[in-house]
Amino acid sequence: MTYWPEPGSFGQDQVVVARRLPFPLTLTGDGIVLREWRPDDLDDLIDLLDDPDIARWTPMPSPFDREAGVAYLKRAYQGRTSGQRLQLAITTNGGRPLGEVLLFGIDAGLKEAELGYLVGARHRRLGLASRSLSLLSAYAGSTLRLSRLLLRIDPANTASTAVARRCGYTLTGEPPILQVGPHGPSSLATWEMLTGHPGSRLDRLKNVAARRYGRRT
């Protein structure tokens, strides 16, 4: 599991890119179908997210009950219909959700965005996370033409770092990012994938420096 964002506002540059995010969207490849969340997914969503491992690595509510599930699906729908993020259920055939991938925090100037992924406890070690992350990463690079894709992962989360490495992401030297969840704070390392699309290297270096000194350009 990687960093999971809380709902928040988007800057003007982010909105420019976010308007290009299509809704509804289905992505298919390598035995994976990524689809929109549906209201009738509620029971499966609760089953997936009411998990101590997910609570350990993400800021999800714990326990994750029916009220949390209803709120989660409502936020997912709002984020998708407003074009602010891609938030898709992982399935093998378009049916029952087995996990989730998302893309958020788009920076139009740097042509970058963050991604996240999780898989339910009963569906792990089947390659679902790596296949889903690869599918969404390919879409972000080829269709959205983002030049840099980011993951934020606690170094102690060895399963998630293995997925990142398997999908071609590499660890950066950027300072850790603090995340506070039900089990307390953790420091997240930044992983990146460069897609080959042109971006401003100078702006990216300035942005890294700004993070290091507590400001972001």
Average pLDDT (76-81) is 95
Dump pLDDT digits (tens) for 88-113.
Answer: 999 999 999 999 999 999 998 999 99
Secondary structure tally for the chain: helices H, strands E = 7, 9
> Domain boundaries in the chain?
12-212
- Do residues 115 and 136 touch, judged by C-beta distance below 8 A? yes
pLDDT for 120 equals 95
Dump pLDDT digits (tens) for 108-126.
Answer: 899 999 999 999 999 999 9
Alpha-carbon radius of gyration of the chain: 16
- Do residues 197 and 140 touch, judged by C-beta distance below 8 A? no
Give the burial class of 182: count Cβ atoms within 10 A of its Cβ; 0-12 exposed, 13-18 middle, 19 or more buried.
Answer: middle
Dump pLDDT digits (tens) for 169-206.
Answer: 999 999 999 877 666 778 899 999 999 866 544 444 44
Amino acid at 82: S
Nearest to 193 by CA among 140, 117, 131: 140
- Using 50, 70 and 90 to split pLDDT, how confident is the model at 213? very low
* Alpha-carbon 90 to chain mean position: 12
Backbone phi, then psi, for 78, in 5-degree steps? -65, -45
| DSSP classification of residue 19 | T
Give the burial class of 214: count Cβ atoms within 10 A of its Cβ; 0-12 exposed, 13-18 middle, 19 or more buried.
Answer: exposed
| DSSP classification of residue 59 | -
Report d(CA 98, CA 121) in Å as an integer.
9
Q: How many CB atoms lie within 10 A of CB 112?
A: 24
Upper half-sphere CA count for residue 150 (Cβ side, 13 Å): 21
Nearest to 115 by CA among 190, 23, 45: 190
Q: How many CB atoms lie within 10 A of CB 139?
A: 18
CATH number at 12-212:
3.40.630.30
